[in-house]
Structures are given as C-alpha cells and as structure tokens.
Structure 1
Amino acid sequence: MTEAVTEPETVVDEPDEVPPAGGGLHQPKRWLVVAGEVVAIVLLVIAAVWCWNRGVVPLEYPVEGREPLTSTRLHGNWLGTAAGALTLAVVLALDAVRQVLLALRTRPQKAAGSDM
C-alpha cells in the first residue's frame, strides 16, 4: 500500500493594512486639466470650421442669356477631417465636464469622515 502524501501546513500571515491613496478624487490639478481641455476644444472647433469651409466649394458655370448654373463640389478628406475634429472636441468636452464635477463635488477625507 502507498501512503498518502500530505502537504505541510502553511501559515498565512494577515496582510498589512493598505494606506489610503495619496490624492484621492479631490485634486487641484484637475482645474489645470480642464483649462487645457477648454483650449484644445476651442482650437479643434476653429480647425473644424476651417476644414469644412475648405471642403465645400461652390462652382458657377456661365450660360449665355441666363443665370449661371451653380453647383457645389464636396471634398471628402476635408469634410472627414472636420467631422473628426468635432468628434474629438465633443469627447474632450465630456471629459472636461467630468473633471469639473470631480473637482467640485468630492470632499477631503477629514470632512467626509466627520459626517458619520
């Protein structure tokens, strides 16, 4: 007969208590992030308008005895760039709102602990 092999018992030490995170959610640097994102949003909107104006080209063909024929030529690369810039501006605007809410609505740990 074979003997059953048992593993030696291992002693598991309790892990040390984890110290609280350094900054938490309430950090003053969030306002700097918001300011940078607002500047980027303004620049992206200006770039999107400029690209859109470059992508829409009105054309006029003269006709004798009548008003000129007008048409519009659309350049997809410029219109796509404008749409991409606006999309990125919207994403940055959402993140800027999130950063503002996190900067305003959270309280430091001392104030939060005293309400209990």
Structure 2
Amino acid sequence: MSDVAPPAAASHGRATARLYHPARLVVAVLEVLAAGAAGWMVPQAWSRAWGTVVFHLDDGTELVSRTVAGNWVGLAVALATAAALLLVDAGRQTLLGTRTRRRRRGGPDR
C-alpha cells in the first residue's frame, strides 16, 4: 500500500474568494501597457539586426553583402515572446478580476 494520504477536501468558498480581486484588473492594464511597449520595441530591434557591407575592389567591382546581427534578432524574438505572454496573462488576470454571477435556477432564461 501507499503511505500517501488522500487529498483534503477543498473549501471552495474561501479558495474562489481569493481569486476574485478587482486589483487584478489593474495588473491586467499594466501588463497590456508593458506588452505594448515590448511590441513597440520589436520592429526597432529587428531593423537594427540587418546591415549592408559594401566592398570596392581595385578593378571597380562593387560587392554588396547583407549582414545579420544575431543579438538584435534574439532581442526582437525575446521581446515578441514576452509581449505575447504578457497579453495572455493580462487576459487571465481580467477573467479572474471580473467575478461572474451565478444564474438562478428557474429564471427567465429557462
């Protein structure tokens, strides 16, 4: 047999009461603002990643090369990922910050 005790019965009233706080809406707004700032920085970091190098040879030939700076590409990808995660969490905070009301049985929509 196992020595693991059965899980204790959860008190749903207290557990759900802790989830619904209007302050979560403030956190959601701050996360949306942070995601907007990160999203605004993504194109700037991406545009800095690309460069052009031009070589002029003695015979008049011009060689043009495109370069990619990996650190700027990595920063752009990290910022885009952070913005996406912040938006997902802002949605979660909004859902937890707004308390849904239970429908009464036998109401008008029955």
TM normalised by structure 1 equals 0.62
Residue 68 (structure 2) pairs with residue 74 (structure 1): yes
Query: 1:26, 1:19 → 2: CA distance?
Result: 13
Q: Deviations over 1:41-61 (max 9, x none)?
A: 011112222211111113344
**Residue of structure 2 equivalent to 1:10:** none
Which aligned pairs between 1:44-63 and structure 2 lie closer than 5 A?
44-61=38-55
* Equivalent pairs, count: 94
**Residue of structure 2 equivalent to 1:102:** 96
Most deviating of 68-77 and 92-101: 68-77
| Paired letter, 2:18 | G
Which aligned pairs between 1:6-85 and structure 2 lie closer than 5 A?
20-21=13-14, 23-61=17-55, 64=60, 69-85=63-79
Sequence identity of aligned pairs in percent?
A: 27
| Paired letter, 1:21 | R
Higher Cα radius of gyration: 1
Structure possessing the higher relative contact order (Cα contacts under 8 Å, 6 or more residues apart): 2
**Residue of structure 2 equivalent to 1:7:** none
Residue ranges of structure 1 left out of the alignment (5+ in a row): 1-17
| SS in structure 2 of the partner of residue 57 of structure 1 | strand
**Residue of structure 2 equivalent to 1:15:** none
TM normalised by structure 2 equals 0.65
